[in-house]
Amino acid sequence: MANKLDVRLGEPTLVPPAEETKKGLYFLSNLDQNIARQVRTVYFYKSACRGNEDAAQVIKDSLSKILVHYYPMAGRLAISSEGKLIVDCTEEGVVFVEAEANCVIEDLGDMTKPDLETVGKLVYDIPGATNTLEIPPLLIQVTKFKCGGFVLGVNVNHCMDDGLSAMQFVNAWGETARGLDLSISPVLDRTILRARNPPKIEFPHHEFDEIEDVSNTRKLFDEEILYKSFCFDPDKLELLKKKATEDGVVKKCSTFEALTAFVWRARTKALRMHPNQQTKLLFAVDGRSRFVPPIPKGYFGNATVLSNALCKVGELLNNPLSFTVGLIGKAIDMVTDSYMRSAIDYFEVKRARPSLAATLVITTWTRIPFNTADFGWGKPLLFGPVTLPEKEVILFLSQSEERKGINVLLGLSASAMKRFETLMEI
């Protein structure tokens, strides 16, 4: 039924801040620079006691008010004299589109395994945009369904916020829609994460290392990519943690460490990499509490740093799970204030992008409280991203409102996916 979704879009309008705000150029830190890509998400709402007649108007009016506090979102991206991304705070406004669907929300089917082509119709994109600068930082679509429910589609450039900042913004927007004061005041000054002068690169930053692809894994990805989701319920996650610690090499491990170790090994095996192939794992670590002094509460921007673990394939697969968990634990512990400042300075000097040959990137959405965004229709029934992971990426997504289980979503060639599926049975 999902492929029958027909969405009629209204004319896009611009929603500027409700009051005059600060104009001029707004600094983006080096942690904002390397991730300037669109992040599309959807929030599904349906209330037993409130229809959707005024949903678009309520969301539009409250957006205008919240933009007074988060005014860079109403600006436009530009390139600074240093050749870096910057926001020109023009008060032009956020792109806003009202839409109507020809069905009820239930017709979309199982939204824990959404058809992304269908759900993609619920998020607005600028037609014909060829680069980041042609897309405003934030685009909003409100789609009303025949059942009285509606979907809020959010399309934001990642350079504006990381997951926690994005949720801070959406929750504040929801508070504004319900007539409440903001529970968290935004801290917009990103110069607290400015590079040092002169820059000091004090650590090796292997995330940028070019790895020779001796296994010719690129060839595997020339085949058609299949996407599959694997469900790890709480019992399965506990079993993984038990397996990781049973030989006593690591005394305790988190769910993230156990699951990441398990899927890194399984994907490496499924891709049949050469034993002498160097392989790399990348994942983001939240730096908010790790900076000295800690980042102030309410900081709006990207405050995560990429960490990495490197290992030969033979070593990864011939050692027990505890070995891989140990590598991941070290990669997390490595992220100190000095390391993060060094990473910021590294980008200042090198302007490099992380290399992704023979690399797995873990992106986790499980710790971000997306189910708290309430605009007056209660908490969302469902929330999810509307983008399939790149071929180097595995996504960890929350399974349900309780957020206890984790769905693992990835894309592999048909032959590699068959092997990966077998390895998921524990």
**DSSP character at residue 409:** E
Specify whether the CB–CB gap between 355 and 209 falls below 8 A: yes
Type of residue at 125:
D
Specify whether the CB–CB gap between 16 and 93 falls below 8 A: yes
Beta sheet of 406-413, edge-to-edge order: 225-232, 406-413, 393-398, 359-364, 278-286, 304-312
Given the residues 161, 162, 345, 374, the one annotated as active site: 374
Active site residue 69: no
* Strand boundaries in 243-303, DSSP class E: 278-286
Specify whether the CB–CB gap between 97 and 126 falls below 8 A: no
Six-digit token pair at 294? 């800690």
Active site residue 158: yes
Q: Characterize the bridge pairing of strands 359-364 and 393-398.
A: parallel
Beta sheet of 76-79, edge-to-edge order: 24-27, 85-89, 76-79
Can you tell me the distance from the alpha carbon of 167 to that of 60, in angstroms, rounded to the nearest whole number?
18
**What is the Cα Rg of the chain in Å?**
22
Can you tell me the distance from the alpha carbon of 52 to that of 146, in angstroms, rounded to the nearest whole number?
9
Count of Cβ atoms closer than 10 Å to residue 255 Cβ: 18
Given the residues 88, 107, 125, 158, the one annotated as active site: 158
Specify whether the CB–CB gap between 118 and 2 falls below 8 A: yes
Count of Cβ atoms closer than 10 Å to residue 208 Cβ: 16
- Using CA of residue 318, residue 319, residue 320, residue 323, what is the dihedral sign? negative
* Catalytic site positions: 158, 374
